[in-house]
Amino acid sequence: MGFEMFLQHCFNALTLGSLYALIAIGYTMVYGILRLINFAHGDILMVGAYFIFFGTFAFGWPWGVAAILSILAAGLLGVLIDRVAYRPLRDAPRISALISAIAMSFFIESVAVVVFTGQPRPVQQPAWLTNAWQFGDLRVTHLAAFVPGITIILVCLLLYIVYRTKPGLAMRAISKDIETTRLLGVKVDNIIALTFGLGSALAAAAGIMWALRYPQVHPYMGVMPGLKAFIAAVFGGIGSIEGAVLGGLVIGFVEIMAVAFMPELSSYRDAFAFLILVLVLLVKPTGLLGEKIEEKI
């Protein structure tokens, strides 16, 4: 493999890894606060992608406007999902909320099939993203710079909210001790809603960029990215935002590089992420940056 080719793969991996990272953040934030795997999270990605598809294609809005509206709408959807599927189960055993999450995922997918039909629809890529810089044999599309760039901006924004604002302080507190945080006057349900909103907004941003990179939308497009991003969150140490970003990048690189260096295994592409999951669970279940979670007595 030539050096240019290798760089080409690196760019691909960076793009894919960024998308996994954005999705993984939503899993990890919700888990950090509620110890719940939000299985409907991948489907938010799909909904976000459909929103942008309809915004640009059916309504003819400019990309930027459609993207911002899609992200906001998906954020609200995330809040709504928490309100109807998880909040009523807050005091129930954790397994009930988990089952509710699985049900929510199937529900959203099924509604999408009914409303949008199961037919994949092509997404028009704007020319300013498909253009490319040419460096010798190396061809870097603007998209390959755009995706990591937007990801960095969004992650910085999120870290600012979590580490520098009052609601962020409440989020970090809730993740350790929900009862005490409540005693101090924090309206915990609002903070949880905010967490779902932020995570869903990031998933929608990833969904939009996913639809630009693999230019089509369909009702099950969120399933595989959702699963792999979940693995990324586990690999990075579930509950840790930095871990989710790192995990997303690693999963992206492993997936791209494994296929690049072993093209004969390209049909097993999806298997690598799951192989990593098995290894992580066997060797270091807390993940790279995860803390050991002590059972509360």
Distance CA 172, CA 268 (A): 38
147 vs 191, beta carbon nearer other proteins = 191
Measured CA to CA in angstroms, residue 213 lies from 27, 99, 112 at distances of 22, 32, 21
> Does 185 contact other proteins by CB under 8 A?
yes
**Using the rule CB under 8 A, which residue among 10, 72, 98, 188 binds other proteins?**
188
> Does 176 contact other proteins by CB under 8 A?
yes
Where does this chain touch other proteins (CB under 8 A) — which range of 25-33, 52-60, 184-192, 204-212?
A: 184-192
> Does 294 contact other proteins by CB under 8 A?
no
User: For tokens 């990031």, what's the residue?
Assistant: 202
> Does 263 contact other proteins by CB under 8 A?
no
Query: Closest separation between CB of residue 187 and other proteins, Å?
Result: 5
Query: Closest separation between CB of residue 232 and other proteins, Å?
Result: 23
Taking alpha carbons only, the member of 250, 238, 208, 240 closest to residue 20 is 250
Helix ranges (H only) for the chain are 3-34, 41-53, 63-81, 94-116, 127-130, 142-164, 166-176, 178-183, 188-213, 223-236, 241-261, 269-283
Site for other proteins, residues 153 to 172, rule: CB under 8 A: 166, 169-170, 172
Query: Closest separation between CB of residue 291 and other proteins, Å?
Result: 8
140 vs 169, beta carbon nearer other proteins = 169
- Phi and psi at 285, nearest 5°, equal -60, -20
The strand pairing partners of 216, in sequence order, are 122
For residue 248, the Cα-to-chain-centroid distance in whole angstroms is 9
Binding footprint of other proteins on the chain (CB under 8 A): 166, 169-170, 172-173, 176-177, 179-188
